[in-house]
Every structure is written in C-alpha cells, then in structure tokens.
Amino acid sequence: MPPTSPVFEPVIDQHDTWLAVNPVQGCPKRCRYCYLEDLGLTAVKPTVLATPEETVAQLLAHRYYHPGLVLALYTCTDALATPVTRAHLTELLDLLAASTVRNPVCIITKCAIPDDVVECIARNRAAGLPILVYLSYSGLGPDIERGIDHTALRANFPRLHAAGIPVIHYWRPALPQNSTPEAIEHVMDLATRYATCTVAVGTKVKPTALEQITALWPALADPALDPRTADSVWPRPTWDWLHALPDRYAGHPFFQTNSCALAHVLGRGDRAGVWNTPTCLVSNRCPAGQRDRCLHSVPHREPVKNTEVEQHLAKIGLPGLPFTLHAGSRTLHLGRPVPLRDRHNLAQVLALTVRAPQDPQERYWAGRTAGARPLIIDPRP
C-alpha cells in the first residue's frame, strides 16, 4: 500500500548509470508499474523541493558530483507532465547551460514535448550543454499507462529527430501484455526510424514493489521465484524476440545496459565493466564503431590506485572503509555493506566494478553492475 503522505527521494542521488537530479517529485500520471507508487508519488500534484537556482547549487556542492557523470533530470516525476514542471525544466536547462556544468543531461518522458521545450533543448545544446531525450515507449495501453497520451508520445519521435535532438528509445517495462511480436513491432517500426538506439531493460522489481508488480504479472507470485533479486525480469517471448531480431531491425542498436547506450550516443568507451562480457558479446546489439571504440580504449585505461579509492571514499563520506582493489580486473571489494548509491558512485567515477556484502535494508534493485542477472519467465500453459 502507498504511504499516507509522500516519501521524497534526495534531490541529488546516485543511480546505477547516472546521477539523478530530482528538484520536483510526484507525478499526476498513474502508470501501474511505476516505481514511485509505493512512495506515494503517483497520481499527485508535483512538489517543488528546490528552485532551479537551488538545484544547480546543490548539484555542484554534492559529494557525488563529478564532471564526468551523466545527469538524469526529474526521474521522480515526468518533467513534461504539467506547466509547473515544464517551466522548472526549461529554467533549469538555461541555468545549467549558463553554469560550468557540461555533464551530459538526460530527460526521460512519456508526455508530449511542446515547441517551447524543443526550442529550449536545441538552444542549450547549441550553447554546449549535451542534452539527450529518452522516450519511454513500450506499447502498453491506457489500462496500464493511465493518463498517458500515446498519440502525443509517438509524435515526439519525428519532431525531436527533425530538430536534431538525440533520441534514445526506452523500451520498458517488458510485461506479458506487450510481449507479442505484433505489439513489439508496432513500437519498433516507429522507434527504429527516429531513435539513435533502443535501451531494453525488461521489468525492474525493487524490494518493496513485489505486490504491485504481481498484480500486473501474476506468474511472479510463484514462491520459487524472487524477481526482486534479478537485474531485470522478462517474458520469454520478448527475450526470444530480442535475441532473434527480424532482419528489418538489424541495423538498429539494441542495448540491455543503459551505460552502453549512453557510451554509444556520447562517443565514449565503456566505463561500467560491460565490455567483453557475455552481456556485451551476446545480449547487446552494438554497432561495429562502438565495439571498436571500446576495444581501443577500455584495455588501455590507466589502472586505478589505492590512493584514488581512499580519496573518493573520503569524499562520499566513507573514510577508512576497508577494501581490496584488484587493479588488473578493475574490481573493488568493499569490506562491509554500504548503500547501493555509494557503490554506484564509486563505480561510475573510478570506472570500477564494485562488490560489497548486501545491505539487508536496501530499497533498490541491485542492477547488473552490482552482480544481478536477468530472470526469464516462460508463459503459463
């Protein structure tokens, strides 16, 4: 059950592939799978927790901030959902572009993007702020994505493409309801025309949301399964479709790791420990140019030193934490449980794989970078 009053996330927070910037939280939409539901942050008026000016100041002063990190704006709302959030977004983009910040900036939406916001994004990209738009489009209907105008969502693809704004197609969640080839290809026939790539991440089930997800996908209530420990959960038909793509999609990049999609779009080598793993070689449909970029950068990266780890642990508030660094494999083993957000920040800033004992109080999914694996669910007879 959702709480009686909203539970707000930190304004600045570290997720597994980006630094989340959440000065406005709460969404008027009512998507039934939304990870905000158990926080009481769906079907509500958005709450402004920090002005755009305060947001920039908090970002630059935060222990997690690093100029190499990707920023994801408004992950605890949809910034395009209301006039208030849209005005906050455009002012924040203008302030970021006018500041020293040159981190890549991601905006994720299912809502219509009006002309003034398109113009704001284009203006600030021209000023040197790298802005990407994730269009979250999975083929689910209004019975599940309640309050979403899917016609307007589809119209975003050609409009952003025509404006020269990079689009990443966010294909999530994967549920039985959108797992038929017909449903998948209705989505892909549009997305592959206009998006730079597709990120396909299945369904994420955080530890506190099992009841919410099983209402949509009853098979996950099987006591022999624990979808909360998986990196992602997939219907078998969707998983099989993704691994046997129809020929007409062969030239479109598909990534199961968001970090790799970002590396591709930003022209970077992998920093998340994915390169040359089974995920890289089998699951990701990565362009030859990106594979070549990783081949010529990842193995030649300077080794991380113990002193660098010590300095960053102190910066994020963990001075003296015992650790073992395996420089050759770029793997860091921490000596006690720490929150996933701290592990993710260490991993992203230092380009390490970070392992630590599991914190039993953790509220978030572990993610593939923390060692979790996909869970594939066969259809019921």
Residues of the chain with pLDDT under 50: none
Q: Are residues 279 and 343 in the same domain?
A: no
Q: Is residue 98 part of a domain?
A: yes
For residue 6, being part of any structural domain is answered with: no
Same domain, 342 and 201: no
pLDDT for 162 equals: 98
Do the domain assignments include residue 300? Answer: no
Query: 3-class DSSP state for residue 109?
Result: strand
99 and 207 belong to one structural domain? yes
Residues with Cβ within 8 Å of 278's Cβ and at least 6 positions away in sequence, in order, are none
Domain of 127, CATH number, reads: 3.20.20.70
Indicate whether 7 belongs to any domain: no
Looking at residue 370, what is its pLDDT? 56
Considering the domain architecture, whether residues 85 and 226 belong to the same structural domain is answered as: yes
Assess if residue 376 is contained within a domain: no
| Statement to judge: residues 244 and 335 lie in one domain | no
Residues 321, 283 within the same domain? no
277 lies in the same domain as 316: no
Domain housing 311 = 306-369
265 and 330, same domain (yes or no): no
Q: What is the pLDDT at residue 28?
A: 97
Q: Do 107 and 203 belong together in one domain?
A: yes
User: Would you state the pLDDT for residue 362?
Assistant: 76
Q: Is residue 4 part of a domain?
A: no
Q: Closest Cα partner for 132 from 95, 167, 90, 96?
A: 167
Task: Give Cα separations from 37 to 3, 189, 346 (angstroms).
Answer: 9, 31, 29
Nearest to 377 by CA among 181, 210, 224, 168: 224
Specify whether the CB–CB gap between 269 and 293 falls below 8 A: yes
Q: How far apart are CA 170 and CA 184, in angstroms?
A: 13
Domain closes at, from 250, 272, 295: 295
DSSP string, 234-287: EEHHHHHHHTS--GGGTTS-EESSHHHHHHHHHT----SS-TTSHIIIII-B--
Co-location of 196 and 106 in the same domain = yes
Neighbouring residues of 312: CB distance < 8 A, sequence distance ≥ 6: 346, 349, 350
Q: Is residue 5 part of a domain?
A: no
Contact of 353 with 346, CB cutoff 8 Å = no
**Total structural domains within the chain:** 2
The answer on 106 and 202 residing in a single domain is yes
Spatial distance between the Cα atoms of 267 and 292, rounded to a whole number of angstroms = 11
Q: 123 and 238: one domain?
A: yes
Domain assignment present for residue 188? The answer is yes
Last residue of a domain, one of 239, 262, 295: 295
What is the per-residue pLDDT for 34?
A: 96
Q: Are 141 and 175 in contact (CB under 8 A)?
A: no
